[in-house]
Amino acid sequence: MEQETEKLYYQNTYLRTFTAKVLKCERQENVYHVVLNRTAFYPEGGGQPADTGVINTVNVLDVQEKKGIIIHKTDRPLAVGSSVRCGINWPRRFSLMQQHSGEHIVSGLVHRFYHLDNVGFHMGAKAITVDFNGELGENDLALVERLANEAVFRNIEIKTDCPSEEELAVLDYRSKKELTGKVRIVTVPGYDACACCGTHVVRTGEIGVIKIMSAQRYKGGTRVSMLCGDRAVADYNEKEKSVGAVSVLLSAKPEGIGQAVERVLEENASLKKQLAEIRRRTLEEQAKCVQEGTKNICLFEENLTSNDLRTFCLLLCERCSGIAAVFSGDETQGYKYAISSTSEDVRPFIKEFNKALNGRGGGSKGLVQGTVKGSQKEIHRFIRRSFENM
């Protein structure tokens, strides 16, 4: 049985470089699985991603734990028995420590005030998501965020220990599952106590800031998206640039862009209404060019929206005794169509049309709409042949 890897990341979460001995190196698919006698590389687990970094000049791409053995997945091999110098990607690790520590405070406050459990936790490439087994409103989350940042400002020491079975039996702590054996408890005094295998900062002040970004209903509960520390600052900087750019475009002060956008949207809605009226009048004039009493009509028009197609087709339908068909598009992207009649059920016709020309669409007895990939020549040929048989 292999000896378990010595876990330096539990002895000192701030350890950035260390030396070790290579015990095993095996190629599996396109990577190498390297086992060291000791490591500060944190393996993926408990919602926290694995560390990355280097062993000598070899890149560590991923780290996993299997039965106490830490497996480092690298892009190149390392000589078994050799002594190596290792370095973790510290900016990334410290950011993950900030995120994980901030999540503990938020989850602890939600549990304390609203008696909800954290039933899902994931650190994504940009944000953390936390799933709670109950609903949290906007005011609830605003309170949690304010109290969480008070914990940051107080710069409280975050404690980590492994209580005895007797101590654990009387300890009030959070855990997603029943635990046995040695249990590692991470405590933020006054805010949270939780069974956790991850890495955390030593004092809450190192988290920097905790920001709840959004919340949505999820599986009967609430999924909260949040950022801490450097990620929160980066997000603020990104949004500040966006606000500044919009402010310049709208000639409005940053604090007034909300009202400025509302004004632009109102103006845009008014212009759209005017444009729709103008387009309708234009289509009415075009429809008048078709002689009343025409049996069947098939036209190709440029740049018509789906609503335009519908409107124009119905206007033409009033001037013909059979079927009116209107198409808009091109042979590269395909054509949108509207086909209508006041005297015929167009559904059987369109069923055959879609089958023959790889079209999609449907509708009611008097009007169908959809898309078709055939060429204009093929469409004309099918329509003309169909009209001749009516």
pLDDT at 176 over 80: no
- Residue 389 pLDDT grade (very low, low, confident, very high; cuts 50, 70, 90): low
> 225: buried, middle or exposed (CB in 10 Å: 19+, 13-18, 0-12)?
middle
Rounded to whole angstroms, the Cα distance separating 297 from 343 reads 14
Can you give the pLDDT at residue 380?
85
Can you give the pLDDT at residue 390?
60
Can you give the pLDDT at residue 103?
95
At which residue do the structure tokens 């209107």 appear?
A: 326
Can you give the pLDDT at residue 178?
66
Alpha helices in the chain (DSSP H): 8-11, 90-114, 138-153, 165-170, 229-250, 257-288, 306-317, 346-357, 376-388
Q: pTM (2 decimals)?
A: 0.75
pLDDT at 1 over 60: no
Can you give the pLDDT at residue 179?
63
Query: Given the DSSP bridges, would you call strands 323-330 and 297-300 parallel, antiparallel or unpaired?
Result: parallel
> Considering the chain, what percentage of its residues have pLDDT values greater than 90?
52
Give pLDDT tens digits for 42-61. Answer: 999 888 999 999 999 999 99
Closest CA to 21 of 37, 7, 8: 37
Q: 390 vs 221, which has greater pLDDT?
A: 221
pLDDT at 138 over 70: yes
pLDDT at 92 over 70: yes
Rounded to whole angstroms, the Cα distance separating 197 from 192 reads 15
Rounded to whole angstroms, the Cα distance separating 10 from 330 reads 64
